[in-house]
Amino acid sequence: MSRTSRGTHARRARAALLLSIVAAGCSAGASAPSRQPASAPTAGAPAVRSDALAAVAARPSAAPSADLTRLAELYEKRTEGSGVVDHPIGPGDLIEINVPAMEELRDRSVRVASDGNVTLPLLGTVRAEGLTETQLHEDLRRRLGHYMHKPQLSLLVKEYRSRQVGVLGAVARPGLQITRDGGDTILDMISEAGGLTDQASQRLLFIPAEQVDQNEARQLASAGLIVGDAAPGLYADGSPSSQLIKATSPIVIDLEKMSEGSQQMALSVPVRPGDTIIALGGGQVFVQGWVEKPGAYPITRGLTLLGALAAAGGASYPADKTSVRLLRDTQSGGREVLVANIEDVEQGKSDDVLLREGDIVEVEATGGKLAAYGVYHFFTNVMRMGFALSPF
């Protein structure tokens, strides 16, 4: 009896919600500062002054073509034909078999051995690896037909150890997740792992697994590189064992540099057992100049210019909040300078700026405020010294 995919609608709704969060970014609270010296800006860098700064800074650019091409090819390959398939049974899976009319097979649980077989009373050794639930059910029913008339049999895979996908890095519950059917996507697996944490950046590494083909399996077996019960890694008919998989080179999914359509395609790639998804953590941004606590701060998902200033304790009195500079490295190896009016951002007159790893926020002072601040600072120190010297 084939088990249908459970919770499909709920999973898709959860995936759509997570996609909107990942694509747009959410506002993140400020973190405790890390006191490290900030890098100095490059002198003579061209400045850009515009009220539409946020749009310029946040506009998506083209993702690396090689990664997008690989993702597109993988998407087409894994969605070819029916979108949802029943993964075959594999080693380590726990199968529950129930034949009410036969005591030896009533409510019996058996785990698939590393050689892909299960051993059952009366029926002996039966190959299970590579078969779906429906196929194994029909095979057992046919075998039981030699001993009883129209056997009634139920079969359910209770635990799928062979269907595991690794979800690691900046997620709430890193570890192995079980894919239920061929329609589970990268986004579904991230959702099953509890979603991205605040420390996650906008970059994912996806390492797709590929099954070892027949010729390569024979080469590995002849070289003695397949050990244990799985050796030589081939069935009696010469076909490779489905448990022999290999990891490929990682694909970088940079959500910040992708268009909305590219993001949807990338996160909708179906996963397969053996795949690995790594959510990369964010780096640091640097806040220097006239702020209360200048230094390096960890960049969290959705961190904006206003949030970075808040993490640095806010602008001090002499700061020129109408001309805060943002220094950002470009893909060509240069550096661009963006200028933001923080007062307009605070009043909702212009959009905030989403920060990236390695950004430098520089807060300069205005001449008038700086002079007033110097006078204030001088008299404050004089008064403190006077009270300290007074015997009363």
Q: Per-residue pLDDT tens for 190-225?
A: 999 999 998 888 889 999 987 666 666 666 566 655
Give the predicted TM-score (pTM) of the model: 0.59
Q: Which CA distances in Å does 382 have to 85, 368, 369, 386?
A: 79, 22, 20, 6
What residues does 203 pair with on adjacent strands? 254
pLDDT at res. 90: 85
Give pLDDT tens digits for 127-174: 998 888 899 999 999 999 988 888 999 999 888 887 889 999 999 999
Q: Is 363 helix (H, G, I), strand (E, B) or coil?
A: strand
Tell me the pLDDT tens digit for each residue of 279-304. 988 788 999 988 999 998 988 888 99
- pLDDT of 264 above 50: yes
CA angle 288, 294, 298 (to 5 degrees): 95
Backbone angles phi, psi at 246, to 5 degrees: -135, 150
Alpha-carbon gap, residue 125 to 88, rounded angstroms:
18
User: What is the 3-state composition of the chain as percent helix, strand, coil, each rounded to the nearest 5?
Assistant: 30, 25, 45
Tens digit of each residue's pLDDT (9 = 90 or more) over 349-370: 999 999 988 899 999 887 655 5
369 three-state secondary structure: helix
Q: Cα torsion at 94, 99, 104, 107 (round to 10°)?
A: 50
> For residue 82, what are the contacts with CB-CB under 8 A and spacing of at least 6?
182
Place of tokens 């779906």: 132
Q: What is the pLDDT of residue 376?
A: 47
